[in-house]
Amino acid sequence: MKRTSTPATRVFVYGTLLSGEPNHGLLSGARLVGPAKTRPRFTLYDYGPFPALASGGKHAVAGEVYEVDALMLAALDRLEGHPRFYQRTTIALDGASRVEAYLFPTERLAGRPIIESGCWRRHLKERKSW
Protein backbone atom coordinates (compact mmCIF):
# COMPACT_ATOMS: atom_id res chain seq x y z
CA MET A 1 0.00 0.00 0.00
CA LYS A 2 1.46 3.34 -1.04
CA ARG A 3 1.62 6.08 1.57
CA THR A 4 0.48 9.47 0.43
CA SER A 5 2.58 12.24 1.83
CA THR A 6 1.12 15.54 2.84
CA PRO A 7 2.57 18.59 1.12
CA ALA A 8 5.26 20.39 3.07
CA THR A 9 4.58 23.83 4.48
CA ARG A 10 7.41 26.34 4.77
CA VAL A 11 7.47 28.05 8.16
CA PHE A 12 9.56 31.06 9.18
CA VAL A 13 10.79 30.87 12.80
CA TYR A 14 12.46 33.78 14.61
CA GLY A 15 12.59 33.02 18.34
CA THR A 16 12.44 29.98 20.62
CA LEU A 17 12.07 27.61 17.62
CA LEU A 18 15.43 28.66 16.11
CA SER A 19 18.21 26.06 16.12
CA GLY A 20 19.82 25.98 19.54
CA GLU A 21 16.83 27.61 21.24
CA PRO A 22 14.52 25.91 23.82
CA ASN A 23 11.64 24.86 21.51
CA HIS A 24 13.74 23.78 18.53
CA GLY A 25 13.13 20.11 19.37
CA LEU A 26 9.61 20.48 17.96
CA LEU A 27 11.25 20.85 14.54
CA SER A 28 13.11 17.55 14.85
CA GLY A 29 12.78 15.88 11.46
CA ALA A 30 11.87 19.09 9.63
CA ARG A 31 14.00 20.11 6.66
CA LEU A 32 15.98 23.31 7.21
CA VAL A 33 15.57 25.43 4.09
CA GLY A 34 18.01 28.00 5.45
CA PRO A 35 18.46 31.37 7.12
CA ALA A 36 16.03 34.07 6.03
CA LYS A 37 14.88 37.62 6.67
CA THR A 38 11.49 39.19 6.33
CA ARG A 39 10.93 42.20 4.18
CA PRO A 40 11.42 45.38 6.26
CA ARG A 41 7.72 45.62 7.12
CA PHE A 42 7.61 44.15 10.63
CA THR A 43 8.41 44.92 14.26
CA LEU A 44 9.94 42.39 16.66
CA TYR A 45 9.03 42.82 20.33
CA ASP A 46 10.51 41.44 23.54
CA TYR A 47 7.67 39.57 25.25
CA GLY A 48 9.85 38.32 28.11
CA PRO A 49 10.90 34.70 27.50
CA PHE A 50 10.05 34.87 23.79
CA PRO A 51 9.75 37.38 20.97
CA ALA A 52 6.57 38.57 19.27
CA LEU A 53 6.51 39.45 15.57
CA ALA A 54 3.95 42.01 14.45
CA SER A 55 3.12 43.27 10.98
CA GLY A 56 3.63 46.94 10.37
CA GLY A 57 6.98 48.50 11.07
CA LYS A 58 10.30 49.01 9.36
CA HIS A 59 12.42 46.08 10.50
CA ALA A 60 13.69 43.10 8.56
CA VAL A 61 13.50 40.24 11.06
CA ALA A 62 16.09 37.46 11.00
CA GLY A 63 15.14 33.81 11.30
CA GLU A 64 15.18 30.38 9.68
CA VAL A 65 12.80 28.63 7.29
CA TYR A 66 11.82 24.99 7.76
CA GLU A 67 9.65 22.65 5.72
CA VAL A 68 7.21 20.83 7.98
CA ASP A 69 4.51 18.24 7.41
CA ALA A 70 0.88 18.57 8.54
CA LEU A 71 1.49 16.84 11.91
CA MET A 72 4.44 19.09 12.75
CA LEU A 73 2.48 22.18 11.66
CA ALA A 74 -0.33 21.15 14.03
CA ALA A 75 2.23 20.78 16.86
CA LEU A 76 3.62 24.26 16.08
CA ASP A 77 0.08 25.67 16.08
CA ARG A 78 -0.46 24.19 19.56
CA LEU A 79 2.83 25.63 20.86
CA GLU A 80 2.04 29.08 19.48
CA GLY A 81 -1.60 29.02 20.63
CA HIS A 82 -2.87 29.58 17.09
CA PRO A 83 -5.28 31.28 16.53
CA ARG A 84 -5.95 32.68 20.03
CA PHE A 85 -2.42 33.75 21.07
CA TYR A 86 -0.34 33.95 17.89
CA GLN A 87 -1.94 33.92 14.46
CA ARG A 88 -0.33 31.88 11.70
CA THR A 89 -0.25 34.05 8.58
CA THR A 90 1.41 33.95 5.17
CA ILE A 91 4.14 36.57 4.83
CA ALA A 92 6.67 37.50 2.15
CA LEU A 93 10.35 37.13 2.88
CA ASP A 94 13.14 39.24 1.46
CA GLY A 95 13.64 37.60 -1.91
CA ALA A 96 9.87 37.23 -2.52
CA SER A 97 9.27 33.68 -1.26
CA ARG A 98 6.10 33.28 0.78
CA VAL A 99 6.04 31.33 4.03
CA GLU A 100 3.89 30.84 7.10
CA ALA A 101 4.83 32.81 10.22
CA TYR A 102 3.32 33.31 13.65
CA LEU A 103 2.33 36.95 14.16
CA PHE A 104 1.21 38.60 17.38
CA PRO A 105 -1.74 41.02 17.46
CA THR A 106 -0.28 44.54 17.62
CA GLU A 107 -2.92 45.75 20.08
CA ARG A 108 -1.55 43.35 22.73
CA LEU A 109 2.02 44.70 22.43
CA ALA A 110 1.58 48.19 23.91
CA GLY A 111 4.49 49.02 26.20
CA ARG A 112 6.61 46.02 25.16
CA PRO A 113 10.23 46.80 24.21
CA ILE A 114 11.01 46.78 20.49
CA ILE A 115 13.96 44.69 19.34
CA GLU A 116 15.56 47.20 17.00
CA SER A 117 18.03 44.72 15.51
CA GLY A 118 15.21 42.42 14.37
CA CYS A 119 17.28 39.49 15.69
CA TRP A 120 16.17 37.50 18.76
CA ARG A 121 19.58 35.82 19.25
CA ARG A 122 21.43 39.13 19.16
CA HIS A 123 18.86 40.60 21.55
CA LEU A 124 19.35 37.71 24.01
CA LYS A 125 23.12 38.30 24.02
CA GLU A 126 22.61 42.04 24.57
CA ARG A 127 20.03 41.39 27.30
CA LYS A 128 22.51 39.18 29.20
CA SER A 129 24.99 42.07 29.32
CA TRP A 130 22.49 44.53 30.86
pLDDT tens sequence across 9-43:
999 999 999 999 999 999 999 999 999 999 999 99
pLDDT at 96: 75
CATH number of the domain located at residue range(s) 9-128 in this protein: 3.10.490.10
Residues 67-124 have pLDDT tens digits of 999 999 999 999 999 999 999 999 999 987 999 999 999 999 999 999 999 999 999 9
Residues with a known catalytic role: 80
Q: How much is the average pLDDT of 52-63?
A: 96
Judged against a pLDDT cut of 80, whether residue 55 lies above it is answered with yes
Give the Cβ contact number of residue 3 at 10 Å.
4
Whole-structure pTM value? 0.92
Sequence-distant (6+) residues with CB within 8 A of 55 are 41, 42, 89, 91, 103, 106
pLDDT bracket for residue 128 (50, 70, 90): confident
Q: Where are the alpha helices (DSSP H) in 23-119?
A: 70-80
Residue 4's pLDDT is what?
54
**What are phi and psi for residue 72, nearest 5 degrees?**
-70, -40
Q: What are the boundaries of each domain within the chain?
A: 9-128
